[in-house]
Structure 1
């Protein structure tokens, strides 16, 4: 595919392949790192296991992972009439900070997907009575807008995060075609998950174990954390015929000043763990472009738009872009850069910060497949044909790949 094609003109039908139901991994392997690893290095394909990853990374690699933690974001309420109302919390609207919303002991509002919405009219409420370690509590959910729900409860001993732990259901992907099970509470979470906020796991990280990280450390591979809270739209297939008609959801990124300095020193050696880390890193570049041009931009106006890379281009070096972010933090007396991104990475995109990625095998007709194609070009078909013909397991609980152009 030529570099000058407009991504808005890409037909999603060109990014299709046949994925038999039996190739979708419904459950993970007993041992995370026993999963298979397809290695694509400059066009050559090889097979290993995930525990071999440390020895397959280029010397001097800095591995960047997303440390967001999946929350039990699905809530089910029963009305007096017997109607079942399902509320899927996507991201907080008041307060907008995940930490403050989950830590609130008085109330908070969230943007939500609502199941059986006709039975949960605007202005109405549903309640659930719970019994936790701190005593009984009643949680009330009030629909205050088309896609917004306010939560309050009668016992300030509980935070909203604790109430989610009591009532909430971990939202596993719908393509698994099964209910959440007790084992998913552990297996659908990376071993390094730290900051609550995702409603879907950064699944490339599910293969890592403490032993794999110990092997990475022994080889001198540096591991760096960023945070992107994964939204439900990440795995949503594109329904529009052309990419230009597909609207990307916004996801919140948080990266420390220390991490930005580490990334600046590691340019040329960065490999991202998963598509969420890729989107984080590349969004940093484009936010740096913005702040280089407008250093007085206030924190609340920080945002990377869906089409910004293709409209603005790549006027700065990666080092200049990261330096602009660090300078903005210094000027504002901040240690943490927090901003939403709606970036879409598709063929014609020119990667700025990463030299490769670790990633699972993604759905046909998905923006994640476009992101892969932007890195490996038309070879994505050969990679996926190989994986299908060699019995690799697909999607969230499936096997993984290491892609090194």
Structure 2
């Protein structure tokens, strides 16, 4: 009989000093824990090309992090902090998390950065937990001009010019994420060149990461957890590249949990299909993976859905052992931290 997991099974004690507040001086200068075999091996990220074979396929998430955090004031004078969760396609409207002493009512105006006014249209999203706002012009342009990098809540410094550059992948193309696909932050031009010389092929998906990625699971029974929804797209070229990789006996390597979620969502209940849609897939131990053979990922928050995902992929006990090893060896954790490479079990 398979084990029935609870949220507490994915808890662990992390010394606060291991939470990386800044990235490594060089992207590929971070550490890489090779967790594919029974005995973990401590490596450097720039050594990744030596761990893959010619004909393997690396799939990246090419989402681009927008400057989604805004500070403003209501017409009554009260301060407001907003985190834009989603820009609605083809409109000047957004969904946002908002923190204020008193929630603004529909019709109210909020002035952001003393530069533009946004109208509150009402509440929206899961359980009406978000605010529906209308901007006076293109939201992407306004955010780029007046917004702040949406650093995760466990990073304590204000965003800087270095964060603008480093909390973004070198291949980011499609704007819409409010959190970075952090496993991909380690790649630089040198690593990509080494992989190409090795004969490793690349492809991409797009999944716009939402703020819900940082939310812990607050119920013990996993089936009671309501997963946040995110938009993703898998191009036909990526589906074809995966089929070609399978035909030549190569491995499909997902760069990050967001890439894995997109690929496995596109294969739910059928063969892998190209296209775009929403996913609220919640991957827990017992999930049957259809697409991904290897996973490159950072170290995740205790009791998070991502801890559950990596445990489903590589096995609960092996993953918990890897985390104990990483803590003992003082790996750096979370978004600006180090990475590990896992095999599907």
Q: CA RMSD in A?
A: 1.8
Number of aligned residue pairs: give it.
335
Residue 154 of structure 2 aligns to a residue whose secondary structure is: helix
Deviations 1:167-193 (A, max 9, x none): 111111001123222211111001111
Give yes or no for the alignment of 1:164 onto 2:146. Answer: no
Give yes or no for the alignment of 1:229 onto 2:229. Answer: no
Q: How does 1:56-67 map to 2 (within 5 A)?
A: 56-67=51-62
Residue 263 of structure 2 aligns to a residue whose secondary structure is: helix
Match for residue 400 of structure 1? 339
Give yes or no for the alignment of 1:214 onto 2:188. Answer: no
Give yes or no for the alignment of 1:373 onto 2:303. Answer: no
Q: Give the direction of change, closer, same or farther, for the CA distance of 1:125–1:347 in structure 2 (3 Å limit).
A: same
**Alpha-carbon contact 1:83-1:119 (below 8 Å) kept:** no
Residue 176 of structure 2 aligns to a residue whose secondary structure is: strand
Match for residue 322 of structure 2? 383
**Alpha-carbon contact 1:85-1:120 (below 8 Å) kept:** no
TM norm structure 2: 0.92
State which of 113, 128, 150 in structure 1 corresponds to 2:97.
113
Deviations 1:114-150 (A, max 9, x none): 111615223311224767xxxxxx3333242252322
**Alpha-carbon contact 1:72-1:169 (below 8 Å) kept:** yes
Give yes or no for the alignment of 1:269 onto 2:251. Answer: yes
Gaps of 5+ in 1: 102-107, 132-137, 290-315, 327-336
Q: Kindly indicate which of the two structures has a greater share of residues assigned to helix.
A: 1
Match for residue 305 of structure 1? none
**Alpha-carbon contact 1:130-1:167 (below 8 Å) kept:** no
Mapped to 1, the partners of 2:213 and 2:149 lie a distance apart of 16
TM norm structure 1: 0.79
Q: Which moved more, 1:239-248 or 1:195-204?
A: 239-248
Give yes or no for the alignment of 1:173 onto 2:156. Answer: no
Mapped to 2, the partners of 1:361 and 1:219 lie a distance apart of 27
Give yes or no for the alignment of 1:139 onto 2:117. Answer: yes
Mapped to 2, the partners of 1:261 and 1:59 lie a distance apart of 17
Residue 24 of structure 2 aligns to a residue whose secondary structure is: coil
Q: Measure how far apart 1:45 and its partner are.
A: 0.9
Q: Measure how far apart 1:258 and its partner are.
A: 1.8
State which of 60, 73, 82 in structure 2 corresponds to 1:87.
82
**Alpha-carbon contact 1:346-1:373 (below 8 Å) kept:** yes
Give yes or no for the alignment of 1:14 onto 2:17. Answer: no
Mapped to 1, the partners of 2:54 and 2:308 lie a distance apart of 28
Match for residue 364 of structure 1? 302
Mapped to 1, the partners of 2:83 and 2:333 lie a distance apart of 25
Give yes or no for the alignment of 1:196 onto 2:171. Answer: no
**Alpha-carbon contact 1:120-1:143 (below 8 Å) kept:** no
